[in-house]
Structure 1
Amino acid sequence: MSSTVRIVKTPDVLHGKPRLEGTRVGVLQIGELVREAGWSFEKVADQLDLDIAQVEAATEYYDDHPELMETLRAQKEARQQSVDALSRAE
């Protein structure tokens, strides 16, 4: 991997949410594991098959964009509530 880790947003991958270039691993997922669940960079890297630089870059982006992360988190929760409501309706 190159020494530069890029965070990208493309409409056709993860619905345009920020992710590590060359992966389908979202910044929100990494940030929540590190900041909310308290996982170490090493554990996240191991579990998601990433390197430490990728985890660091994603966590930095997560920390630098709190409003965007809160919006993404709210969207995720709304989707989950919708799925839960549909599954109860069946």
Structure 2
Amino acid sequence: MSTTVEIVKTPDVLHGKPRIEGTRIGVFTIGESVRAAGRSVEDMLTAYPDLTREQVEAALAYYDDHPEAMDILRQQKEATRQRVLSQSRAPGASDDAKHRS
């Protein structure tokens, strides 16, 4: 029996970012882990034992098919990181933010 894995966006879950239906696991999280960090599908199945191979592959397909949307999410993540670093009281945190921009 074959089931279709849906990638959905709903405003009240993950701020409307694409995710695997029935989960709070975002496409961006899976895509960045595999495509950018070099992890494998098997690594994702180990890290997220409730996911199926089909769900991981559907997330990767969506990630690959929507590069502009993934770039926007990447930029948002970096902007948030910079904002947090600039507000941090940790020694050297604001210096890190300046050097990375």
C-alpha displacement of 1:19: 0.3
Q: Distance in 2 between matches of 1:18 and 1:7?
A: 6
Give the paired residue count. 88
Q: Deviations over 1:19-51 (max 9, x none)?
A: 000111000000011101111111111102211
Percent of pairs with identical residues: 64
Output the TM-score relative to the length of structure 2.
0.82
Q: Which amino acid aligns with 2:27?
A: V
Q: Which amino acid aligns with 2:83?
A: S
Gaps of 5+ in 2: 91-101
Structure 2 counterpart of 1:25: 25
Q: Distance in 2 between matches of 1:42 and 1:34?
A: 10
Mapped pair 1:39 → 2:39? yes
Q: Which amino acid aligns with 1:63?
A: D
Q: Distance in 2 between matches of 1:82 and 1:17?
A: 20
Structure 1 counterpart of 2:99: none
SS at match of 1:35: helix
Q: Distance in 1 between matches of 2:22 and 2:44?
A: 17
Q: Which has the higher contact order (CA 8 A, sep 6+)?
A: 1
Mapped pair 1:87 → 2:55? no
Structure 2 counterpart of 1:62: 63
Q: Who wins on radius of gyration, i.e. which is larger?
A: 2
Structure 1 counterpart of 2:78: 77
RMSD: 1.4
Q: Distance in 2 between matches of 1:4 and 1:63?
A: 18
Q: Deviations over 1:39-67 (max 9, x none)?
A: 11111111022111111000000000000
Gaps of 5+ in 1: none
